């Protein structure tokens, strides 16, 4: 039985018209944010197992910047519709879809086909705004099983920040040895993943140490629940400070965003048999020749994190709902201001997430 | 090398004299609280791997009442020194002990030999105040490896409440499938284990439902963080209310203190493949003939809980410290008022734990 | 893009014709095996996310007998196509299916929508041959994501035995505390689930104890790798024998097929903090009033098992393939002999599984 | 109560005399195997919580060679009694020891104080034959809780091979994500750890791929159960061969003994989200600058392994016993031939373990 068989251009049950044409951003070239341009496209009908979503808000990640400027190492292509993170509203439901109805508020999972369990080459290859076309578009069809429900207490702007940054932090802290109340967690900096890592760790009963080069940002980290903060400009040997704070034991989990540039220090800051979750390479290159030996002598565990599965996204939403965690939104831009939004991200002055409002309703 | 070789009767480093004689309670007969009597005993020297502890505070459990009144089904004997839960101060350290020094604040693990992993017949047989002599005594020697450090922010009175009730709740919620942020947890009533279960669940990011027959106690549960409460006198079908609250899903974990009298309802309140942690039998007997079939059709997991290991006690203290959780102490009695303390427990008017102050220092 | 858009009645790539009409069994009434009758039906075209499967072999479970005779407590209805377990060949592939191609050898998961994680009320409600129409039919369409690939080394007859019995045993032994090499496992009897439990446990490095009322069946259990066997007719106190065999420790896991009739003995045979996996109620009713208290004092874990997820099915197939485990097939019947096959199951003379050959190719 | 209070020099219950003097090897200097010398020492009485063990057999590890030749990076000192691995017989039991009796056959855990859970700086610092005096001695006292029982079916020679090499392999395969039947495991070479890894993986139901530069050694690996072998002299791109064997999926676990020299290839051979267990650095230095990025893009997990806990040792012995696994002993030398034994190890011609028989009884 068909749940909603409205063609594009007609009006679904809740009265919001689905137009036949709509606008979307695309990147004709990948050598700079200035390429970001708007084009008109034909709004598609969903396949039998898809739903059509009206996008309300999109949030930016550092990955989006590297794609637009050509430094991203993963899959991408010219004329790409950019961005991976959105929250929106179901407006048309495919014939065989049981799970969703018109009006449902949803996010799409970053890797569309990564439904549960570990990532695979096949599921890694379904990343929005990279392998697949992205979400900086007024309408987009998604496979029904790639979506998660937006918790009631969140706005579309807030929810749009979850798919990449929050899920990466959640996956880091809920790996083979999930975070446990009383654990010590170190988050590096105050970017999107780190702030979410802080919030998730606090809500899970952990002790959190946050680092940053800015006292102002560290104040914000404290307001979000960080037990300790370290300004690494003032204390470059932050790994020693971590050992002092933890009484010589070291931390159980590190959200490692610096990569080679901070990995050596992280290996000194982590406890024996503790976890370093590598999620990015913001600190640039550095000598890592010592890393394997240190890993061995510390019995440490270095783990790469590639976002997460839809099941983890649902689990994360349950935690967020239980503690009514609100994502930290730095600034909201209008659809027409996408280039400004990207440039604000580039400036690194933000704390938390940058959002583009796509729909005005 | 000897760490502290003071004989009983001499004065250790921190100046507190260790007397040669001290007082302790014992139960010459096991047919009523009125038997509780004080006797003098020779303070022992610790063996090579023991420490002598000056007991500061003792807390009572329902088990202590059943032992004193003769209804306890586990091991016990006449002339038993009662009680399992204490916090105290190390005053003499055995020759081969590396871990402790005079002045350290400690709790003893309920099952003295249960250091880590699952309980065994051998370790189950080392329960304080039952299999072994208890802790309602001014001094007692303990094996060095049966002790845990008291978190700095807790008083002796607060810390004395942890060994049995808190660890039981912690073990329940950190079993083979440990509690996860976002889980739904149901605690039955507002006795010691249930209140600790509530506090641990809240600190771990869970949604908590508390039940009680008293609105006043439910108010207290809300102040401690319960998301929902149910007065089972007003709503005897509390399992249906649980299903409504959870949107028809049921709860992930139940701290089951009622036993046969509530097990059937718990099986209706738990989600499919959820956990019922059986820790007591307060609700009396009832027909459980339907329980195995319900367990099967619900794919539920019914698990018996016998306190926990020293390692779990240490893990629990880490969680308590991270969130500065304060045990709920209902009332503190003097050493001489032990019978009154037992009677207060019997009256079931308390919320949280009843403590006996053993030492005045 | 359409993968295979052949209408029923045409000839797919590999040359096997898909007829427009085919035969299937159904149960006009549910009061006896004699009702089993054959009818002709229109072979359906698969939906966009389905595949059409030509069924080659079907295996019987005790559940099928209880459904046919009217004693099954779960969902069922008159005119039901019976049976849940089949192995077959993909003959037509729906338009949106990426995963399968014509000629692939597949089994369907027992609970069609139980893809991964714990069972839910929704997924429990998609059981083949009960909630949904069954597989004793020459052709049937299945959702693409409900299927698993048949390991190359297995025949269709062998593979048809896996969906219910083998997966139940696998789920039992791979629950929250998965079987570990060196564990002791007790399997009750030599029915389908128990024999698979034995084979899985042996392949996983466990010590296995098998019980039966027949020395001949115990001989077979030994040939399959059981380390110890107990004839419970000769030794009715088999739980004491288990304690002797295990040096007083008890077993880690019990595959409990007897239900109330054996649960008390199982609680005596299991080690402290060990697992009893309740999968059936073959031993009839008995007094279980003591079960909750025993569960508590043993710190035991009693868990209901409802088959398993598609992901577990795939994991199980990996284990079977690594060790080239062959299911024990007791007897193969022709499609026309379905009633005889059911009666053979009823006689309880079999060891292992009873199979009906549906297709002759 | 004293269990055995025999002074050294007297005769315990089972009639084996404990001499007052005995022989042991020591390393006056750490610049070569030629330094290994024998000295006489006073056999100590065990402390209250120790037992005195008569050493029957000692096995060598690569670590012993690096200590004797001065290239070991961990703690060591001149005049060290070398070696970490022994099996022997309890001959005197300390006053407070409950667990052991005279005549018990035991191994000592490599890290004496690592009883359970993760390794810590404190427990890492109790390694035999490095931090602490070693076991190439006719008698040695051990803390009672540092010992494990030798499985009945093993000889002293066989059992002496377990503490370091077997436990390292077991810890690798039983980490946060324990090996599961059906997993793919790659073992590099045919040294002690790799051969044990192969045997443990096979007994656990895994698919095993073994690599070596010698066809003869690969033949031996096959006899021990390896499903596939790769001669990396003939196929230097062994990581590509691994991908072919596993159908492009890669292996779940790699026992990484090569270190920097093979880590890059291991990252290509492991599946996405798979485990690389770093246990040594036999393949020498190499460029690892690419390792962190590869770890990220593969979502791989690189884990350092430092032997294991006593609890893991006991778990391992249960697995070995269930499947009657016999360690591969390459050659047994007499006590007087210790230097020859070391040189045989240096020659790298062995498969499996080299043993020194210490006692002739």
Give the nearest chain B residue to A227 (CA atoms): B322
pLDDT at A32 over 70: yes
Nearest Cα of chain A lies from the Cα of B207 at a distance, in angstroms, of 5
Q: What tens digit of pLDDT does each residue of B79-111 get?
A: 999 999 999 999 999 999 999 999 999 999 999
SS3 label, residue C185: strand
- Identify which of C96, C115, C117 has the shortest CB distance to residue A48: C96
Give the nearest chain B residue to D48 (CA atoms): B48
User: Quick one: fold of B168-304?
Assistant: Rossmann fold (3.40.50)
CATH fourth-level superfamily of D21-161+327-357: Medium-chain alcohol dehydrogenases, catalytic domain (3.90.180.10)
Evaluate whether A329 touches A31 at the Cβ level (below 8 Å): no
- How far apart are alpha carbons C192 and C173 in whole angstroms? 15
Mean pLDDT, chain B, rounded, equals 93
The answer, for A174 touching chain D at a CB cutoff of 8 Å, is no
Q: Which CATH number fits domain D167-304: 3.40.50.720, 3.30.420.40, 4.10.220.20, 3.40.50.300?
A: 3.40.50.720
Q: What is the mean pLDDT of residues C158-164?
A: 98
187-216 in chain D: CB under 8 A from chain C: 200, 203-207
Evaluate whether D260 touches D285 at the Cβ level (below 8 Å): yes
Give the nearest chain B residue to A208 (CA atoms): B322
- How far apart are alpha carbons C117 and C111 in whole angstroms? 12
- Identify which of C205, C227, C321 has the shortest CB distance to residue D182: C321
pLDDT at C4 over 50: no
Which residues in B lie closer than 8 A to residue D96 (C-beta atoms)? 47-49
Nearest Cα of chain B lies from the Cα of A309 at a distance, in angstroms, of 17
Nearest Cα of chain D lies from the Cα of A196 at a distance, in angstroms, of 19
B-C contacts (CB, under 8 Å) = 126
Q: State the pLDDT at residue B104.
A: 98
Q: Compute how many other C-beta atoms are within 10 angstroms of the C-beta atom of residue D69.
A: 16
316-355 in chain B: CB under 8 A from chain A: 316-323
Please, what sign has the CA dihedral across residues D80, D82, D84, D85?
negative
Evaluate whether B273 touches B249 at the Cβ level (below 8 Å): no
pLDDT at D9 over 90: no
- pLDDT band at residue C361, thresholds of 50, 70 and 90? low
- Identify which of D207, D317, D323 has the shortest CB distance to residue C205: D323
**Who contacts D216 (Cβ-Cβ below 8 Å, separation ≥6)?**
none
- pLDDT band at residue D260, thresholds of 50, 70 and 90? confident
pLDDT at C8 over 50: no
Q: What is the mean pLDDT of residues D267-276?
A: 98
For chain B, what are the domain ranges?
21-161+327-357, 168-304
Which residues in B lie closer than 8 A to residue C302 (C-beta atoms)? 292, 295, 301-303
Chain CA centroid to CA A205, Å: 22
Which residues in D lie closer than 8 A to residue B311 (C-beta atoms)? 116-117
Which residues in A lie closer than 8 A to residue B320 (C-beta atoms)? 182
pLDDT at C108 over 70: yes
Q: State the pLDDT at residue B76.
A: 86
Q: State the pLDDT at residue A73.
A: 83
SS3 label, residue C344: helix
Q: State the pLDDT at residue C16.
A: 57
CB contact under 8 A, C205 and D207: no
Which residues in C lie closer than 8 A to residue D181 (C-beta atoms)? 200, 203-204, 318-319, 322-323
Q: Compute how many other C-beta atoms are within 10 angstroms of the C-beta atom of residue A11.
A: 11
- pLDDT band at residue B60, thresholds of 50, 70 and 90? very high
Mean pLDDT, chain A, rounded, equals 93
Evaluate whether B62 touches B109 at the Cβ level (below 8 Å): no
Which residues in C lie closer than 8 A to residue A117 (C-beta atoms)? 116, 311
- How far apart are alpha carbons A248 and B125 in whole angstroms? 36
Q: State the pLDDT at residue A250.
A: 98
- How far apart are alpha carbons C45 and C27 in whole angstroms? 24
ipTM of the complex: 0.94
Evaluate whether D11 touches D54 at the Cβ level (below 8 Å): no
pLDDT at A3 over 70: no
Q: What tens digit of pLDDT does each residue of A190-239 get?
A: 899 999 999 999 999 999 999 999 999 999 999 999 999 999 999 999 99
- Residue A39 pairs in a beta bridge with A24
**Who contacts C288 (Cβ-Cβ below 8 Å, separation ≥6)?**
B288, B289, B291, B292, C260, C263, C264
Alpha carbon distances (Å) from B238 to A358, B255, B301, C4: 45, 14, 20, 54
**Who contacts C66 (Cβ-Cβ below 8 Å, separation ≥6)?**
C72
CB contact under 8 A, C311 and A48: no
CB contact under 8 A, D293 and A120: no
- pLDDT band at residue D48, thresholds of 50, 70 and 90? very high
- Identify which of B47, B115, B311 has the shortest CB distance to residue D48: B47
pTM above 0.80, yes or no: yes
CB contact under 8 A, B311 and D115: no
Q: What is the mean pLDDT of residues A2-9?
A: 43
- pLDDT band at residue A261, thresholds of 50, 70 and 90? confident
């Amino acid at each position: 039985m068909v749940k909603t068989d409205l063609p594009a251009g007609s009006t679904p049950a809740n009265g919001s018209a689905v137009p036949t044409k709509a606008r979307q951003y695309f990147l004709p070239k990948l050598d700079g944010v200035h390429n970001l341009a708007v084009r008109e496209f034909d709004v598609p009908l969903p396949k039998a197992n898809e739903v059509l979503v009206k996008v309300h808000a999109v949030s930016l990640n550092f990955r989006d910047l590297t794609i637009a400027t050509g430094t991203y190492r993963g899959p991408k292509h010219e004329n790409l519709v950019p961005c991976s993170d959105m929250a929106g509203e179901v407006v048309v439901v495919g014939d065989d879809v049981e799970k969703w109805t018109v009006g449902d508020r949803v996010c799409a999972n970053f890797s569309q086909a990564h439904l549960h369990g570990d990532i695979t080459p096949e599921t890694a290859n379904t990343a929005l705004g990279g392998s697949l076309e992205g979400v900086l578009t007024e309408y987009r069809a998604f496979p029904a099983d790639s979506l998660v429900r937006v918790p009631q207490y969140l706005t579309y702007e807030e929810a749009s920040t979850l798919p990449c940054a929050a899920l990466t932090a959640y996956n880091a802290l809920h790996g083979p040895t999930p975070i446990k109340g009383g654990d010590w967690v170190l988050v590096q900096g105050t970017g999107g993943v780190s702030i979410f890592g802080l919030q998730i760790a606090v809500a899970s009963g952990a002790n959190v140490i946050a680092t940053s080069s800015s006292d102002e940002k560290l104040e914000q980290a404290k307001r979000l629940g960080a037990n300790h903060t370290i300004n690494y400009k003032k204390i470059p040997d932050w790994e020693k400070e971590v050992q002092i704070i933890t009484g010589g034991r070291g931390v159980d989990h590190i959200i490692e965003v610096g990569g080679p540039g901070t990995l050596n220090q992280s290996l000194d800051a982590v406890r024996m048999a503790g976890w370093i979750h590598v999620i990015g390479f913001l600190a640039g290159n550095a000598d890592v020749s010592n890393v394997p030996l240190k890993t061995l002598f510390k019995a440490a565990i270095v783990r790469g994190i590639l976002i997460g599965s839809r099941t983890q996204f649902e689990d994360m939403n349950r935690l967020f709902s239980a503690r009514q965690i609100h994502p930290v939104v730095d600034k909201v831009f209008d659809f027409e201001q996408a280039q400004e939004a990207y440039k604000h991200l580039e400036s690194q002055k933000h704390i938390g997430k940058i959002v583009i409002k796509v729909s005005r309703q």
